[in-house]
Structure 1
Amino acid sequence: MLLRRLAPAMRHHLVVNLQPIGMVYEVMQRRLRAPQPDLSQALGSAHKIHGFARAALSSCLDVVTWLVPEENAAMPLADGVRECAGLLASNLSFRGYGLRNEVGPLPGQVRRAALRTMLTALLIHATDEQPSPAELVLTAQAGAEGAVLTLTVRPAQGAGGFATEAGYRGLAHQDLEALAAAESVRLEREGWCWRLSLPWVGSAQA
């Protein structure tokens, strides 16, 4: 269910670096057809294509780690939050939600699979429940046993967004609880504020 809801964002993540390749190729092709082609410009276009191709390959490999997660992989909380926010930001914005990431560096690391699963599921669940326009604010603090990641949802002014996921049922709180239990993450809710307690990987933090 979660991967189905993430599919549009993953699709965008995959193609965003592929689309410019065709446009750059067409420009390069026109320049090479000139009576006296500027080889330096053609070389510049080739470098751009190479850069986009490398970025596209990196995106493909990254999506594979979402589909087949490495259970023991760990990462700093701030890096994982930034990654999840980047994946969903465009989709959320189109639907009328602003996402503000205020998570700074924390000592220690958390399980990448647990963070990815719980944060993306939480963002989807919260926006399923709170109509747009709304603002989503992410903050975090370090605890003795793990990182505590907080999502606060506030109604906002402005026009609502567009429905982009018709046909999918919403992620219910029971779904979040099941995912949290599977990932050994503590889930708490107080009104429009959710907290995820993600255990540190390795030695406990002070």
Structure 2
Amino acid sequence: MSTDLAPASTRNGTDTKHTSRSAACAGTSRARRTHELGHLPLSIRAPHDEAHAAPRAPKPPSADRSDMKAAPMTTPVPISLTASEQSIAQDFVNGLTIRDIAAARTLSTNTVRGHMYSVRRKLHCPYRCAWHIVIHRILLHVSAVTAPRPDSAAPDLNEAQMQLLQAITEHSRVFQIAIGANLAPGDAHGAIQELVYLFRAQNTADLVTRAYGWRLLQPAEDRPQ
């Protein structure tokens, strides 16, 4: 007797293949998302521990949640922070973690996170943008916070390396940094790591701090108020 239904073994095989394809697609999506977020071992990842994560404020339904980079602030307009925010921002630029700052200032970690969240908000840095952008914005706009001067001479950068450094200060995602630096996406990862190594930095946040310390980037303190 003929039938329109495929044998059970065939149906099971088709289901298995469909499940395998779905799992493969999910794995590819996760890998792509990890690449876009810039989870690099020596550069894009946050320089401090997970306790640095700022509390997530509820967003209105109409808010745009698709952009993970900081809002553009190309003009170095002075930004005012409270005395507590300035002190904590300075500790952060100096490389301390949330727990370190809390212990040194006898504050709770939630209090320190709250101050850093306020700093981010004033600098137009959403909680998902990379920490090297936060440090760049602090040193660019807040003259009361200064970068420590490195104990070695500044590296001699060529035009392409300066362009890459500038792109790092403006973007969180690797492919965006590649576009900003006029690099092929496949070359950006290695170029970022090479620059981190050249600066003797631990990561891109440390790289940006050192760039300001060497005055390769002009901090707010050097500009007329």
TM-score (norm 2): 0.29
Greater RCO, 1 or 2 (C-alpha within 8 Å, sep 6+): 2
More strand per residue: 1 or 2? 1
Q: Over alpha carbons, which structure has the higher Rg? A: 2
